[in-house]
């Protein structure tokens, strides 16, 4: 909340579905395991809220596990869990010598990114053991010109993984912008600007 307030957003933490539905933007944070976050979302109708908002073109920002649950499925500790399925794909354990991936890393944003405008060479703070390591919708191959594929930002830890996605009203980051200093604040400011 403080990170968003720092960049000029009027923020309200609420479990009220009406408030969440009427907000200019909705943030889906995530701490913990994929399955637990999905259980928590379903318990309060958050899965339906995200679906409704996106169907109506209303902005949603997922952060960390809040990004991971946007994928179809997550696999942690041998447990498979169904996600929100906004994107196809599976979130699973990073294949790296050191896990969790904890610390500052650079990212590779695509041309045209709104979130990373002017931040292309900055570093962001990651804390995670799981990630989407592929993104099936990231190609224009065979796609009609009128349908723009999501903009996918990549990072590396033992191999490439999805660091962020910009997909119409849905944006998400695997890293924590709220812990990423000035670069993270600027990224949040870019997202808040899209709400106006």
pLDDT at 140: 56
| Mean pLDDT over each residue of the chain, to the nearest integer | 94
In the chain, what percentage of residues exceed pLDDT 90? 86
**2-194: what CATH class?**
alpha beta
pLDDT at 138: 59
pLDDT in tens, 111-141: 999 999 999 999 999 999 999 999 987 555 5
pLDDT at 89: 96
Over residues 51-61, the mean pLDDT reads: 96
Lowest-confidence segment of 7-16, 109-118, 132-141, 147-156 by average pLDDT: 132-141
| Count of CB atoms situated within 10 Å of the CB of 64 | 26
Q: Which of the residues are catalytic? A: 64, 176, 178
Above 60 in pLDDT, residue 146? no
pLDDT at 16: 85
Q: Where are the domains of the chain?
A: 2-194
Distances from the Cα of 69 to the Cαs of 46, 111, 144, 183, in angstroms? 12, 25, 27, 24
pLDDT in tens, 60-114: 999 999 999 999 999 998 899 999 999 999 999 999 999 999 999 999 999 999 9
Extract the runs of DSSP E, i.e. beta strands, from the chain: 26-28, 60-63, 71-76, 79-82, 87-93, 101-106, 123-128, 130-132, 151-156, 160-167, 170-173
pLDDT at 143: 52
pLDDT at 15: 78
């Amino acid at each position: 909340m403080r990170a968003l307030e720092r960049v000029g957003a009027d923020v309200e933490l609420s479990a009220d579905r009406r408030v969440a539905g009427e907000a200019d933007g909705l943030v889906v944070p995530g701490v913990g395991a994929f399955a637990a976050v999905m259980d928590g979302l379903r318990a309060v109708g958050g899965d339906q809220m995200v679906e409704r908002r996106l169907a109506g073109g209303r902005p949603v920002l997922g952060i960390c596990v809040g990004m991971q649950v946007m994928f179809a499925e997550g696999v942690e500790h041998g447990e498979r869990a169904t996600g929100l399925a906004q994107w196809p794909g599976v979130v699973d354990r990073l294949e790296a010598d050191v896990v969790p991936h904890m610390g500052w890393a650079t990212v590779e944003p695509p041309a045209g990114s709104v979130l990373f405008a002017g931040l292309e060479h900055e570093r962001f703070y990651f804390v995670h053991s799981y990630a989407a390591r592929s993104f099936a919708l990231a190609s224009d191959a065979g796609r009609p010109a009128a349908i723009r594929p999501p903009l996918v930002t990549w990072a590396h830890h033992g191999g490439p993984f999805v660091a962020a996605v910009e997909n119409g009203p849905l944006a998400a980051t695997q890293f924590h912008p709220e812990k990423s200093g000035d670069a993270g604040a600027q990224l949040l400011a870019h997202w808040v600007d899209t709400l106006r």
